[in-house]
Structure 1
Amino acid sequence: MPQISVDYSSSLAGTFDRRGLGLAINRLAEETIDAKPDSCKTVFRQSEVLVVGTGGRPGDAQVFVEFQIFPGRSPEAKAALSEGVLKLLAEYVRPAPGTRLFTAVDVADIDRECYRNAALQG
């Protein structure tokens, strides 16, 4: 734990180093919420369509980062994690000129009693 998902607009696919960003996010989680290094798992999912409001623009793009973590972290630690991720997004994601980029981060507690995981060897 944590489980980290990064959803991003397809127009951003060639504009940033996903592995580099994932490693930076994982390091930040270690530093801010005391996550164990091997427990950070970050997945990237490309979105084909972004609709903003009732108008939107063809050049709109978004990166949304979601953390699922076990309870027990302080609100201050969660806020520091969110702020740190926004800074990393500004550093790593370089949209094309004219692109309106929306970024957001959510840190949510997962229900420890219901969560299960397994690692399988192939």
Structure 2
Amino acid sequence: MPQISVDYSAGLAGTFDRRALGLAINRLAVKTIAAQPEACKTLFRANDDFVVGEGDGPDAQVFVEFQIFPGRTPEAKAALSEGVLALLAEHISPAPGTRLFTAVNIEDIDRESYRSTTAAG
């Protein structure tokens, strides 16, 4: 654990290296919330549509969500959120004139009901 989802506007696809960003996010999770490296799983999902307000200008968004087991302090979660925002600023360069909205959310999952498996192919 953690399960990490990165939803991003499809128009950003060519502006950043997803693998490099994913590895940086995983390393940050290890450093800030004591996650085990092999437990960090980051999934990227491109979204075709993103509209803000009246939809006037070219806008894009990157939204990162962490699902983690409970027990991390609010300070550790805040450090993780701030660190992820800094990584997004480092790794993503939208087209000129595009407003980039970035956000991070960290959720505790229910340890009692969570299940996972690993299968070799």
Match of 1:68 in 2: 67
The alignment partner of 1:81 has SS state of helix
Task: Report the residue type matching 2:92 in the other structure.
Answer: V
In the superposition, the TM-score normalised over structure 1's length comes to 0.98
1:19 paired to 2:19: yes
1:48-77: CA deviation from partner (whole Å, max 9, x where unpaired) = 000112x02341000000000000000000
In structure 2, list runs of 5 or more residues that go unmatched.
Answer: none
In percent, how many aligned pairs have the same letter? 73
Moved over 3 A (4+): none
Match of 1:59 in 2: 58
Task: Report the residue type matching 2:69 in the other structure.
Answer: F
What does 1:12-51 align with in structure 2 at a 5 Å threshold?
12-51=12-51
Match of 1:118 in 2: 117
In structure 1, list runs of 5 or more residues that go unmatched.
Answer: none
In 2: Cα distance, 1:44 partner to 1:16 partner: 12
Could you tell me how far 1:42 is from its partner in structure 2?
0.1
The alignment partner of 1:87 has SS state of helix
Q: Report how many residues are paired.
A: 121
